[in-house]
Structure 1
Amino acid sequence: MLNSTIRAALLIAGLAMGALTVSAAPARADLRVCNETSNLVSIAFGYRAERGWQSEGWWRAPAGDCRVIFQGDLERRYFYIFAVDDIGGGSWSGSVYMCTRDESFTIFGVEDCLARGYERTGFFEIDTQNRTDWTLQLSNATSDAGVLDPAEDGDLEDPSLLVDPAEIEAD
């Protein structure tokens, strides 16, 4: 009986120490894009790096899934996103042009995309408001699209940021 009491106490102490270790881990700060559509979505992003403008892609997010596209604290206020519905063909785009290509890429510079053998693609701007962590949701409906502010615990901050891909004209 004493042996089982000691074992139980050690087990409880071990579980408590494990919980403390998990809760003491630093909070993760990333730029995440969540796909709230019913189709696979491919995502590219761009930002101003130390060497100038840089664009990167592709992250593929299945329906209902999220992808971290920038790991660590967000040291920049503005990021730029382009995403395409791989099945439905629509896209989330904007008026900030950066270079992309069909295969995985990291491209430095935004000038002369076509002359350098790349595509010229319109990205939309995300203002992270100088927060270190940001989640963006891609949705089929404009009223459901927006940015998740971690401080708001998941409430949509600006549903006008993204549009329904069906409403975007094909290039």
Structure 2
Amino acid sequence: MTLPAALVSFLFSAAPAFADLKICNRMSYVVEAAIGIDDKAATATRGWFRIDPAACRVVVQGTLTADRILLNARALGVYGASPIPQSGSDMLCVAQDNFVIAAARQCRSGQTQVPFTQVTPTQGADGNLVAYLAEDSEYDDEQARLAGIQRLLVIAGYDAAPIDGVDGPKTQAALAAFLKSRGLSSDIVGSQNFFKTMVDAVQTPSATGLTWCNDTPHKVMAAIATDDGKAVTSRGWYRIDPKTCLHPDVTGQPKQIFSFAEAVDADNRVIKLKDRPLNWGGDRQLCTRETKFETGEQTDCGARGFAATGFGAVDMSSGGKTLRFAVP
């Protein structure tokens, strides 16, 4: 599955901040949001607030007095490299896990700078202030929820494409197969925990397809490559949190699959053991780069702004393979 370009957009107005502030997600991704509060000479940040498709989350309660409100959002690691472009001009500090940072313009150890976008939320019918996260597709709530289900079904290995937020026999068949394979009742589809159930399912080993499992105490960033007989396409990065698993999206019927992964610290620096990088790969040299990438050209990596990286071939002859990343 190729991630489409997505756009973070907001509804704006001149409404003053005097009530609870909510963020509503009209994207087809489960996201984690962080807010920044600019008040006089100080800037603070807080996160992460997990928000399912078609759901809202209160991020500030009560009267909010601030010169500016800023927002950053990221997709869960299950989706691979974040499809949410970040184009804000305010570089503020965040941490990998839940955080509150009082002085967010000067990062400390374990914190990184990410771009925040200034927002001016609208006043909702309930009197609260609301900012919307949206894609180019401009889904309404119902469409965003269905597109979110379709996207996770595809990642889990079920044929629910295209991801368009439109219901139909193909989506229903894929959803029914997913529920049956997990021993779940159809009633759970309408529950508040359904996206958590789906994400958990994608992050557990599977008898089919490729599964990465991170048995280390570190964050692992992984890349995949597929050979369809005509070209080898490499793609990354997928974030795999400690003690979790992930199914990378693989479309079609590739003749060969390759994998590379490396452990990184909170500042995304490669972890080394005895002066050697902690990674898992092989001898097949394929192109990668530090940021999100996808390329079907595997020659002259350096000349094209990429790096030649050693991938390992994955034996998929049994129909499914789980690669476990562990500290030697």
TM-score bracket, normalised by the shorter chain, equals 0.5 to 0.7
Q: Which amino acid counterpart does residue 126 of structure 1 have in structure 2?
A: V
Name the structure 2 match of 1:80.
258
Structure 2 unaligned runs (5+)? 1-176, 183-205, 266-270, 273-277
Output the TM-score relative to the length of structure 2: 0.33
Match of 1:121 among 296, 301, 309: 309
The letter for the 2-side match of 1:22 is L
Contact 1:33 1:136 in 2 (8 A): yes
Q: 1:113 to 1:65 in 2, by over 3 A?
A: same
Q: Percent identity?
A: 25
Which of 41, 46, 58 is residue 220 of structure 2 equivalent to? 41
What TM-score do you get using the length of structure 1 for normalisation? 0.61
Counterpart check, 1:134 vs 2:318:
no
Q: Conserved in 2, the CA contact under 8 Å of 1:30 and 1:70?
A: no
The secondary structure found in structure 2 opposite 1:22 is helix
Instruction: Establish whether residue 65 from structure 1 lines up as the match of residue 244 from structure 2.
Output: yes
Q: Aligned pair 1:97/2:276, yes or no? A: no
Q: Which runs of 5+ in 1 are unaligned?
A: 1-19, 142-171
After superposition, the CA RMSD in angstroms is 2.8
Specify whether residues 61 and 103 from structure 1 end up closer, same or farther in structure 2 by C-alpha distance, changes over 3 A only. same
Question: Quick one: structure 1 residues 116 and 63, their matched pair in 2 at CA, closer, same or farther if it must change by over 3 Å?
Answer: same
Q: Give aligned pairs, total.
A: 120
Distance 2:224 2:237 in 1: 8
Instruction: Give 3-state SS (helix, strand or coil) of 1:56's partner.
Output: strand
1:122-159 deviations in Å (ceiling 9; x for gaps):
1111111151x322111113xxxxxxxxxxxxxxxxxx
Q: Cα deviation per residue 1:42-79 (whole Å; 9 max; x = unaligned)?
A: 0011111365110000001011011111246x723531
Q: Are the aligned partners of 2:207 and 2:321 in contact in 1 as well (CA < 8 Å)?
A: no
Indicate how the Cα distance of structure 1 residues 24 and 33 shifts in structure 2: closer, same or farther if over 3 A, else same.
closer
> What is the match of residue 24 of structure 2?
none
Larger RCO: 1 or 2 (CA < 8 Å, sep 6+):
1
In structure 2, the residue matched to 1:112 is 300
1 CA distance for matches of 2:223 and 2:297? Answer: 15
User: Post-superposition, which runs of at least 4 consecutive aligned residues in structure 1 deviate over 2 A?
Assistant: 20-25, 27-30, 74-78
